[in-house]
Amino acid sequence: MPELPEVETVRIGLAELLPGKIIKSEWHDWPKGFPNADSDVQQFLIGAKILEVKRRAKVLIIELSTKYSLLVHLKMTGQLVFRSNDDKKRFGAGHPSHSLVGDLPDKSTRVILDFGDSKLFFNDQRKFGWIRLVPTAEIPNIDFFKKIGPEPLADDFKAKDFIERLSKRPNSSIKAVLLDQSVIAGVGNIYADESLFAAKIHPLSKVQNISKAKLIKLHEELIKVLKLSIEKGGSSDRNYVDVQGRRGSYLGFAQVFRKNGQPCPRCGTIIEKIRVAGRGTHICPHCQPKPKV
DNA sequence: CACTTGACCTGTCCGC
DNA sequence: TGCGGACAGGTCAAGT
């Protein structure tokens, strides 16, 4: 499920492939996921040249020469897969051999951008994701971006800011606050569990009951797991793939996520799965002792 | 107001 | 083998 490292991996891939491409034509079904008026698509998307690919929180921003941008949110099962027309010639019939995604489009394909020599496919099995075409200058004014918290990997995101922001939610469980995008951008279920394990904090702990030293540790570990995951191309659980259709390898390095029933890599205690903030949550009951409240 | 839960979707897995 | 139901989790709306 795409969180910050997965979206960043996709961004890096797109940034190598898309700039300079011109959108010759576009196809989409499913108006709910791509709700722009057809006239806007005709006017500001078709014929546009792609300038740059950025990311804010879990949203990709594809800047176009028309002063419009495509915003893409992959939500849980979204994929952006790039296919060059040459792929079929090089690899024979079917999809490129390095891709785990089959021939495209498939039944989960919702949007296709055609660049003439290549295509970009937006696939989304569960239809939670979306694409919007918006004026680039308007992006900061969109509700989603107005309330989003700081980027955890920004150079100026220090432990002090982290603790101040968390402390505004003293009565919530630490995991619920980590998942709240208005507090910090980009953290989802995997990296919440992994960073809390690394900092030895039980996810049900109320923020006000966690020592400053542990919160400093959590800040450090959160940044560490996010960076490691980007290095590994993100986490592939079921659906996530990069722009070439390849899986990420981070879950091979995960300490607790989806490791319930297996021994804790630190102390050997069997890892448990519990439910926190409505999410499946993985903990070592020894390393992350249950809070009193 | 602060915080939690349910809805949105569809594919997969488990038990009967 | 088929079928019902639980489950997966990012985000917003609705509920407590």
How far apart CA A101 and CA A37 sit, in angstroms, is: 30
Cβ of residue A181 near strand C, that is under 7 Å?
yes
User: In this predicted model, which residue has the larger pLDDT, A89 or A104?
Assistant: A104
**Total length of chain A:** 293
Q: What was the pLDDT predicted at A215?
A: 95
Which percentage of chain A shows pLDDT scores above 90? 69
Q: In whole angstroms, what separates CA A163 from the centre of its chain?
A: 23
pLDDT-based confidence at A293, cuts 50/70/90? low
Residue A26: active-site member? no
DSSP A66-104: TSEEEEEE-TTTEEEEEEETHHHHHH-SSS-TT-SS-SS
The per-residue pLDDT for range A128-184, each reduced to its tens digit, is 899 999 999 999 888 888 889 999 999 999 999 999 999 989 989 999 999 999 999
Residue A259: active-site member? no
Residue A58: active-site member? yes
The per-residue pLDDT for range A122-131, each reduced to its tens digit, is 999 888 899 9
CB-to-strand C under 7 Å, chain A 217-276: 273
Q: What was the pLDDT predicted at A96?
A: 85
How far apart CA A146 and CA A139 sit, in angstroms, is: 9
Beta carbons of A48 and A68 less than 8 angstroms apart: yes
SS3 A198: helix
CB-to-strand B under 7 Å, chain A 181-220: none
Q: Strand C nucleotides below 7 A of a protein CB?
A: 7-12
**CA A278 / C1′ C6 distance in Å:** 14
Query: What letter would DSSP give residue A61?
Result: E
The per-residue pLDDT for range A204-256, each reduced to its tens digit, is 999 999 999 999 999 999 999 999 999 999 998 778 989 999 999 998 899 99
The per-residue pLDDT for range A21-45, each reduced to its tens digit, is 999 999 988 877 888 778 888 899 9
pLDDT-based confidence at A17, cuts 50/70/90? very high
Residue A119: active-site member? no
Q: Which of A2, A5, A152, A203 is catalytic?
A: A2
Per the prediction, chain A carries an average pLDDT of 91
pLDDT-based confidence at A68, cuts 50/70/90? very high
Q: What was the pLDDT predicted at A36?
A: 79
Q: What was the pLDDT predicted at A33?
A: 83
Sign of CA dihedral A260, A178, A248, A275: positive
Residue in A117, A98, A103, A105 with CA at minimum distance from that of residue A24: A117
